[in-house]
């Protein structure tokens, strides 16, 4: 039995060796004859569905979705007549002036509700006697001003047209530096234009543009005429209202600013509901706390907002706040600069009680302030 097994093993080994040699030197001897059946193997894969309308990575779908909601706004303002035109001596020396033409301006806006509400910048329509809105589909309509908020440079308009393409608001809280965004508007009046870029920074403030600042900074090209237009994400959702640029030439230099859509929405809802924006106010003159000021006042802190003045009879004075105090927090929200203090106080409901954490010399304490209502502020002339 053992001998038989040994002979079988040797035979198998020799056969395998011969097969290997033949497969290596004469592989054609092992090919299947014509007409033989070859087994098939089915491989299941998840098909890759390519967008047949747009190239991979194209931003066209976002532009196509958002563009119909962005409108062109044309404004006109009656010319200011010269008070001396009726003076015969003035006419004798200077002659009859040519007919004055109305002042015109161009900007952009965003349809945010099918009922006809639009968001734009206050400086786009400020002082206008006539406002005409032009849609991408060619329709035009006169717009009525629902309300304005110069302190955030926002305005709400209303037009009366059917089937308006309202834009969708995006989640601004999820926006990150580096996200791709599109700026849509009507630069220089050439017609609707879409530019792309990224979010360069978030929470930009202390720029001296508005009273309340919390800008999205982007390098998407924004030029004169883009003001009031839309800043959208790659899904075509509204992330901001394009407002201003940093420029030495008047054109885009890669630094543009947009008001976050959540801020714009809050302002819009207040203007539609109440006709104005109601904000908290405590009646103080704030200043950023610098290391030099902290050393001068012998303060053990290096961050906060120094109170340099207190309005007589105002909420802060009635609560016992004095010049020289440093505000550290408002309603448990830390404040490190003047812009943060203004935003935190503005968010408080008038006639409510708010707790302020302050540093007074070497002592830290809290005070209860009865919040007042922020007085209306006349808009300041701005260059954008």
Q: Give the active site residues.
A: 123, 153, 227
Alpha-carbon 295 to chain mean position: 38
Residue 310 CA to residue 371 CA, distance in Å, equals 14
Residue 201 CA to residue 323 CA, distance in Å, equals 34
Contact call for residues 199 and 216 (beta carbons, < 8 A): yes
Q: Are strands 215-218 and 305-310 parallel, antiparallel or unpaired?
A: unpaired
β-partners of residue 111 are 118
CA angle 200, 206, 207 (to 5 degrees): 65
Residue bearing tokens 């734009």:
120
Residue 189 CA to residue 308 CA, distance in Å, equals 46
Q: Give the CA distances from residue 375 to residues 9, 305, 352, in Å, rounded to whole numbers and listed in that order.
A: 104, 21, 16
Q: What does the DSSP assignment read for 144-190?
A: EEEEEETTTTEEEEE---SS--PPPB--GGG--TT-EEEEEE-GGGS
Residue 294 CA to residue 93 CA, distance in Å, equals 64
Residue 75 backbone phi and psi in degrees, to 5: -120, 155
Helices (H), 260-319: 261-274, 291-296, 315-318
Q: For CA atoms 162, 150, 274, 260, give the dihedral sign.
A: positive
Neighbours of 177 (CB within 10 A): 11
Lookup: tokens for 6: 């040994």
Contact call for residues 63 and 220 (beta carbons, < 8 A): no
- Output the furthest CA–CA distance in the chain (Å, rounded): 142
Q: What does the DSSP assignment read for 72-108?
A: EEEEEEPPPPPTTTT-HHHHHHH-PPPPPPPEEEEEE
């Amino acid at each position: 039995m053992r001998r038989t097994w040994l002979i079988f093993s040797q035979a198998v080994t020799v056969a395998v060796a011969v097969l290997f040699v033949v497969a290596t030197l004469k592989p054609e001897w092992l090919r299947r004859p014509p007409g033989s059946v070859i087994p098939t193997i089915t491989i299941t894969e998840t098909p890759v569905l390519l967008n047949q309308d747009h190239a991979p990575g194209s931003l066209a779908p976002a532009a196509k979705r958002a563009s119909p909601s962005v409108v062109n706004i044309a404004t006109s303002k009656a010319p200011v007549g010269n008070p001396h035109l009726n003076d015969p001596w003035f006419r004798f020396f200077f002659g009859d002036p040519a007919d004055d033409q109305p002042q015109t301006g161009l900007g952009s806006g965003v349809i945010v509700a099918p009922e006809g509400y639009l968001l734009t910048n206050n400086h786009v329509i400020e002082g206008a006697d006539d406002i005409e809105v032009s849609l991408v589909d060619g329709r035009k309509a006169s717009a009525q001003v629902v309300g304005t908020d110069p302190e955030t440079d926002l305005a709400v308009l209303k037009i009366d047209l059917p089937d308006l393409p309202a834009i969708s608001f995006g989640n601004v809280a999820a926006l990150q530096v580096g996200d791709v965004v599109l700026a849509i508007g009507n630069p220089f009046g050439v017609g609707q234009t879409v530019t792309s870029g990224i979010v360069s920074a978030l929470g930009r403030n202390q720029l001296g543009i508005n009273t309340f600042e919390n800008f999205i900074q982007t390098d998407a090209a924004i030029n004169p005429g883009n003001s009031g237009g839309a800043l959208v994400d790659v899904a075509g959702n509204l992330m901001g209202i394009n407002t201003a640029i940093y420029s030495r030439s008047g054109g885009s230099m890669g630094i543009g600013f947009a008001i976050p859509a959540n801020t714009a929405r809050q302002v819009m809802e207040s203007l539609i509901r109440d006709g104005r924006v109601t904000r908290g106010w405590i009646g103080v003159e704030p200043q950023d706390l610098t290391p030099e000021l902290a050393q001068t006042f012998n303060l053990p802190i290096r961050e906060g907002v120094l109170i340099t003045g207190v309005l007589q009879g105002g909420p802060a004075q009635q609560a016992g706040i004095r010049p020289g105090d440093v505000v550290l927090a408002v309603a448990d929200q830390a404040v490190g600069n003047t812009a943060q203090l203004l935003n935190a106080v503005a968010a408080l409901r008038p006639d409510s009680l708010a707790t302020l954490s302050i540093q007074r010399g070497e002592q830290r304490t809290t005070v209860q302030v009865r919040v007042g209502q922020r007085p209306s502020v006349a808009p300041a002339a701005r260059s954008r």
